[in-house]
Amino acid sequence: MFNYWSKLGKTRIGGPARPIYYEDFMPGRYIKKGITFTTRGCNFNCPWCLVPRMEGTFRELHHIEPGNIIQDNNILLSSKKHLNKVFDMLRKEKSIRFKGGFDCRLLRDWHIEQLRNLKIKELWLALDYENRFEVFQNACEKLAKAGFTKDQLRCYVLAGYKESIFRAEVRLKFAYKCGTLPFIQPYRNSKSNKDEYSDEEKDFIRNWSRPAIIKSMMKANK
Ligand code: SF4
């Protein structure tokens, strides 16, 4: 693509699909209107995740751009000072979606207190490890107690990383039973594409991607 455009004039490579990051970003440039980032990077090293390699270690962005879709990869690593600035910005927003996903290990009571005063549409968690059931369940219980519903509490569930994709069903069902609406995230390395999945795997992915199907499967499973 670069070769093609460079024949037509001066061409630069960048944007969210490239491993080139600027410390700040311009809302609406390369990404959907409403999306904002207030931090970059992550200090953990989950083996399937590209964030530490592409963005480096965690840091807070100096300037907080307004937006109702917070796409930070691990925002709860932020200092209290930074998060309070983010919450202040969000008080003016509606239909707020924390799409980057909260790390349940880092969720504290004061975060929940702040979150319950915001107009939240979706708050995403993650359940990628089977040995995190307890911390995940605790976070869900606290969020439910604060008034968050299953339709607000969403949960990414990684599937197919060094295991059969169907193994994720244990975590998908657990996430549902804890009061979240799970969403399967099939692991894709740089070579894999949709056509590599069998029909059975494609059905499994489709079923665990659609809230209406998930709800009816879980109802039938009771
Ligand atoms: S999966 Fe989340 S916690 Fe793990 S390295 Fe990636 S951003 Fe960090």
Please identify which residue in the block is written with the tokens 């209107």.
33
Tell me which H or E stretch contains 126: strand 120-126
Residue nearest (by alpha carbon) to ligand 1 atom 3: 44
CA dist., res. 180 & res. 174, Å (int): 9
Query: pLDDT at position 190, please?
Result: 46
Q: Are 124 and 102 in contact (CB under 8 A)?
A: yes
- Transcribe 148-196 into DSSP letters: --TTTEEEEEEE-SSS-GGGGHHHHHHHHHTT-EEEEEE---TT--GGG
**Could you identify the atom of ligand 1 that is nearest to the CA of residue 74?**
7
What rounded mean pLDDT belongs to the chain? Answer: 89
Q: Are 122 and 155 in contact (CB under 8 A)?
A: no
C-alpha 11 to ligand 1 mean position (Å):
32
42-61 per-position pLDDT tens digit: 999 999 999 999 889 999 99
CA dist., res. 121 & res. 151, Å (int): 8
Residue nearest (by alpha carbon) to ligand 1 atom 6: 49
User: Facing residues of 185 across strands?
Assistant: 158
Between 15 and 25, the more confident residue is 25
Query: pLDDT at position 33, please?
Result: 84
C-alpha 110 to ligand 1 mean position (Å):
22
Q: What is the pTM of this model?
A: 0.87
Determine the residue of 46, 104, 105 to mutate for testing ligand 1's pocket, defined as the one with the most ligand atoms within 8 A of the Cβ atom. 46
Dihedral over alpha carbons 135, 163, 193, 57 (to 10 degrees):
40
Mean pLDDT within 89-98? 97
Query: pLDDT at position 196, please?
Result: 81
Q: Model confidence at 189, in pLDDT bands (50, 70, 90)? A: low
Enumerate residues lining ligand 1, CB below 6 A.
Answer: 42, 44-46, 49, 51-52, 73-74, 103
Mean pLDDT within 93-112? 97
C-alpha 189 to ligand 1 mean position (Å):
16
C-alpha 220 to ligand 1 mean position (Å):
33
C-alpha 159 to ligand 1 mean position (Å):
15
206 pLDDT above the threshold of 60 = yes
C-alpha 121 to ligand 1 mean position (Å):
23
